[in-house]
Chain A
Amino acid sequence: MNRRIPDWLLERYLLDELPEDRRAELRNRLEEDAEARTRLERMRAETEVFLARHPPAVMVPRILARMGTPSRSAPLRLVPVAAAGALAIALFLVVRGGGGEEGIRTKGLAPALVVHRSLGDRAERLNDGALVEEGDLVQLGYVSAGRRYGAIVSVDGSGNVFRHLPLEGELAAPLESGRTVILPHAYELDDAPDFERFFFVAADEPFPIEVVLEVARGLPAHARRLPLPRDFDQATFLLRKPGETR
């Protein structure tokens, strides 16, 4: 048979997605078609090269961003506080010893964010929309509500985006369940204007943190949700700055 085997069919053969009868038919044709076998091998090689040049960690966030809003880059804004151990311990006692989940608005089974502010030797739990100031020391926590992986990011009034969980790595962090989890780092708020909004994104499968960062970078001011697929659960928490304009 001299008719050229279409690339379309070779692609499907390569992925083993042809029905068995058609696969067998194509296999027979390939045995007699050296040119098609060469194309098939070239496709295999090109696959590796393509994924190296355009890895999922880079391309998937772009694809997801196209589904929502355009992206833009932003520098980090929050400053990790090195000596936050005392506050972390205080918060742990407050949350674990102060009535467990009682004061935490889990809204049914939805994941939730918990935010505390340091007041010297004690911690004040903040409500969504609380007024804060430059220099305040805040510490984040979450309730996973059974979700297995999560990420926490923030967007400030200047549009800058910062990651809080995980601090490093490409994938969302494994979440603990059954309690309020306080992150080990506290942050000193800087002079960014208007507001600081935190997003807690959770899912049952690991996902690239870049997905969340990318959509957060393109988020309109005061948006309350990230443009992510429904597979992601979201919780948000707003801290307002003096003179905030809505």
Chain B
Amino acid sequence: MALQESIEGFYRRYGPLVYRRCLALLRDEEFALDAMQETFVRLLQNPSGGEVNHPSALLLRIATNVCLNQIRSRKRKPEDPLDELVHRIAALDDPESRSLARALLGRLSFLDSEGLRLAAVLHWVDGMTLEEVARELGLSVSGVRKRLRLIQRRARIWQEVGS
């Protein structure tokens, strides 16, 4: 990828999108700006760089994970039920819950906690259908369903989103 496109052009095209995503999850302009920069850093450090067909999908995924990590470390008090749900999903990778997550994930070796959290946010926070989540993450619908079921077993999440 040409230098100019990879840096300035990339930012001009995708910066606003990434910022909006971060602001929606973090609800703080300053933190969103910081998370946006971190998202681009991770993209530039990614071996695949911008050499993907749809960078917007990759950037949105990276931004979501960056924000969830930030939420987990900031310990900000949630502002409303949806915000609280984001916080609970972010906490999926807390050290105290990691062993449980591993146990749940044991039967699906290809899963990771980041992928789980991402699927959870897309479905329960963004409101995507299982089909939409599957298409965004390049998974089968059954693969998405398995991930969400795993999460639902987590008591804290179950209370919030259980059917």
A: residues with CB less than 8 A from B are: 3-4, 6-9, 11-12, 14-15, 17-18, 22, 43, 46-47, 50-51, 54, 56-57, 59-60, 62-64, 66-67, 203-208, 211, 229, 231-232
By a CB distance below 8 angstroms, the chain B residues around A4 are 127
- Partner-contacting stretch, out of B16-24, B77-85, B148-156: B16-24
Measured CB to CB, the nearest residue on chain A to B11 is A56
Task: Report whether over half of chain A's contact residues are helix, strand or loop; otherwise say mixed.
Answer: helix
Is B38 an interface residue, CB under 8 A from the partner?
yes
**Distance, CA A43 to CA B17, complexed state (A):** 8
Which residue on B lies nearest to A4, using beta carbons?
A: B127
Which residue from A7, A17, A64, A232 sits with its C-beta under 8 Å from B126? A7
Are B8 and A50 touching (Cβ within 8 A)?
no
Q: List 23 A-B contacts (CB under 8 A).
A: A3-B127, A7-B24, A8-B21, A8-B128, A11-B17, A11-B21, A11-B56, A47-B17, A50-B19, A50-B20, A56-B8, A63-B7, A63-B41, A63-B44, A66-B41, A203-B3, A204-B2, A205-B2, A205-B4, A205-B5, A208-B7, A229-B3, A229-B7
**Which chain B residues lie closer than 8 Å to A15 at the CB level?**
13-14, 17, 56
> Is residue B6 contacting chain A, with contact meaning CB distance below 8 A?
yes
Q: Residue of B at shortest CB range from A57?
A: B8
Interface check B162, CB cutoff 8 A: no
B interface SS class: helix
Q: Which residues of A contact B127 (CB under 8 A)?
A: 3-4, 6
Cα A224 to Cα B30 in complex, Å, equals 34
Q: For the complex, is B107 an interface residue (Cβ under 8 Å from A)?
A: no
* Complex contact B11–A59 (CB within 8 A): yes
A57 to B4, CA, bound (A): 12
- Most chain B C-beta atoms within 10 Å of own C-beta, residue among A3, A17, A22: A17
Give the 3 A-B CB pairs with smallest separation, nearest first.
Answer: A205-B3, A47-B16, A6-B126
Which residues does chain A contribute within 8 Å of B132, judged by CB atoms? 6, 9
A14 to B128, CA, bound (A): 17
Most B CB contacts (10 A, CB to CB) among A18, A47, A204, A211 go to A47
- State A130–B94 Cα separation when bound (angstroms): 55
Of the candidates A63, A67, A208, the one having the most CB atoms from chain B within 10 angstroms of its own CB is: A63
A47 cross-chain contacts in B, Cβ below 8 A: 16-17
A140 to chain B, nearest CB (A): 23
A7: chain B residues at CB < 8 Å are 20-21, 24, 126
